Amino acid sequence: MTLITLEDLLSARERVQPIIRATPVARSDSLSRLAGRPVLLKPEHQQRTGSFKIRGAYNHIAQLAPEVAVVAASAGNHAQGVALAASLTGRAATIFMPRGAALPKVAATRTYGADVRLEGEVVDDCIGLAKAFAAATGAAFVPPFDDLQVIGGQGTVGLELAEEAPDAEVVVVPVGGGGLLSGVAAALTLGNGPVRVGPGGALAGPRPRIRVVGVEAAGAPTMRRALDAGRPVTLDGVATMADGIAVATCSQLTLSHVQAYVDDVVTVDEEEISQAMLLLVERAKAVVEPAGAAALAAILAGRVPGTGPAVAVLSGGNIDPLLLTKLIEHGLSAAGRYLTLRIVMTDRVGALAALTGELARLELNVLDVEHHRSGRDLALSEVEVQVTVETRDPAHHAEVVRSLSAAGYWAEPVS
């Protein structure tokens, strides 16, 4: 299997440099305190098209013959990268997207000048349609990750990291099909020392100074399964809100790069991704999509060994505002920032006012109140109140319940 070379990566950097936006690494002190180690952020969510994908798409498309049309399949980020790259190189682009693709991603892809066709239920359907379109029309199919030119373009992120974060102990990268991870790991390894070789990934020399760890959603562990099996494996299904890394299978090309250059691939669950997204909004003022938060989620969850500086690649920020609202609400709940209580008390005049007064005394902000007299398992003289309040963290939940009990109220958390 032919792997990317340092010369390929340097050529890709020269090719994409004029059209990409600078995304310099920045340290987050607040996230560093939470992680117990220095945390640096590579903000590719601020890249043109809202993700790193423009790098690989442009590196591939710019090497095609002039005026050759392109076609691609994507749920969003690759679609936008291909659409913009085609526009910048003066060629037509057709993008097949699933019928259920996020409307903002569809609209953005069209804004970049592509002909968007909403066909197929999942991305794999769209890939088949795109390849058939290429065969019928002569358009060039632009793969999302299974291509050395695409890997080379994504690898320019790694070349930048080598310059922007030379003291990093580890770089943590989200993984879908593996194009970004392959490129970043190759760039950091080829610039720092010998590589691993052979099917088992044995070291041919000293380990590169900067380690590289990939992160997948637990509901789409494509690369992890492939590494364990020693070959690409197609998952029966994927289940994650991180649609940017919800890929059912990697390729032999990306697997070979990961076997050669990557130290480990770990997974994070939906709660960890959600909480990382919330922390990025609160502490780093960064709005990222779920896939873009996966690297930070792994660092905060302790899945990345070490105490030295860790770089989290924030791979993308293309998220539907409606989904963002839901995820923030979910993240707040998972972080213990909401507490819903069921409180049973005597049904008398002024009882509800007394309860709200007690909540005010405890300095709790009330978000919602439901008052029930019937249809519940209550005595004739009782009333139930379900109240949702803002809290600091899960430990605060127990403190609130104790305080209400001390004040004479029967209260229990509602899950």
Look up residue 176 and give its two tokens. 């879908």
Letter for the amino acid at 55?
R
Which residue is catalytic, options 51, 182, 256, 315? 315
Tell me which residue of 388, 411, 373, 8 sits closest to 182, measured CA to CA. Answer: 8
Is residue 186 a contact partner of residue 158, using CB atoms and an 8 Å limit? yes
Catalytic residue status for 105: no
- Residue 106, number of CB atoms within 10 A of its CB: 20
User: Is the separation of the CB atoms in 11 and 151 below 8 Å?
Assistant: no
CA–CA separation, 235 and 219 (whole Å) = 10
Q: Among candidates 282, 237, 230, which has minimal Cα distance to 30?
A: 282
Is residue 53 part of the annotated active site? The answer reads yes
User: With contact defined as beta carbons under 8 Å apart, do 63 and 149 qualify?
Assistant: yes
b/e for 41-62, b at 16 or more Cβ within 10 A?
A: bbbbbbbbbbbbbbbbbbbbbb
Q: Assess contact for 175 and 216: CB atoms under 8 A.
A: yes
Distances (CA, A) of 92 to 83, 86, 114, 277: 8, 6, 7, 35
Q: Active-site residue among 28, 42, 53, 182?
A: 53
Q: How far apart are CA 365 and CA 92, in angstroms?
A: 54
Query: Beta-strand (E) ranges in 286-358?
Result: 310-314, 338-346
Supply the residues annotated as catalytic: 53, 315
